[in-house]
Amino acid sequence: MDSEQTNLEQQIKINFKNKELLKEALTHRSYLNENPKWSAHHNERLEFLGDAVLELIVTENLFKQYPQSPEGELTSIRAALVNYQILSKIAKEIGLDKAIYLSKGEAKDSDRAKETILANAFESLIGAIYLDKGYEISAKFIVENVLKFVPEIVEKKLYKDPKSLLQEIIQEKLKITPTYEVIGETGPDHNKIFEVGVYFEGQFAGQGKGFSKQEAEIDAAKDALSKLSHENHKRIT
């Protein structure tokens, strides 16, 4: 077995009975194009299963942990917890990024594309753990690696859409609505990156980038929220 697979097992403290199952969880579709004789299938079926297992265990824990929270809020917290950025971060923490089998082209892809691949592989790993070890071990793995982010998400209200949260704060303090403006565009038409600024009554408050105007606006709102947090709201008080 690949040494990186062994390292991954050691890192997550789970020893697979079926090593081929782990190998499948780590095999991206692109790898098979360059290695047609590879013994494992790609990991998309395991990703499908792992996504469902992850959602069930996260939902069960949030339901028990926050008995007074309404369904809509729990849904938002769950969405913030299992987004591709957090899952890819966890994947790197456990060394999954070193163990995954990718084509040479995919390995050189953009950071965002690699984050998505890692997040999907993390869900595939959960699917493999579930099939190999069952519900209890899967739940323990998810609680230890994923649910540890819940307190920060709840405390900082990261489960709220950044634009909505920024608007709530600014309307409460200044009685105005933040405005967004495209301040730059780079790249070819098929892969354009937008840069957007967010303003409070014409005063620059933050900026962000994204592959769409909406994504850039969300990134700009995050930047403005970060600045407000770091300055203890000095800008608006």
Is-contact 152 121, C-beta < 8 A? no
**Domain boundary, last residue among 155, 171, 195:** 155
Residues 63 and 143 in one domain: yes
194 plus 151 within the same structural domain: no
147 and 195 housed in the same domain = no
Of the candidates 90, 121, 155, which is a domain's last residue?
Answer: 155
For residue 214, give its domain range: 162-236
Tokens of 131: 């099939």
Instruction: Encode 30-56: b = buried (16+ Cβ within 10 Å), e = exposed.
Output: bbbeeeeeeebebbeebbebbbebbee
CA dihedral in degrees (40, 42, 43, 44; nearest 10)? -150
Residue with tokens 């592989």: 121
Catalytic pick from 24, 51, 195, 219?
51
Residue 2: active-site member: no
Q: Same domain for 126 and 74?
A: yes
- Identified catalytic residue from 47, 97, 115, 123: 123
pLDDT recorded at residue 233: 42
Residues of the chain with pLDDT under 70: 1, 107-110, 112, 230-237
Instruction: Note if 55 is an active site residue.
Output: no
Same domain, 104 and 193: no
Domain end among 123, 138, 155: 155
C-alpha–C-alpha distance, residues 161 and 138, integer Å: 29
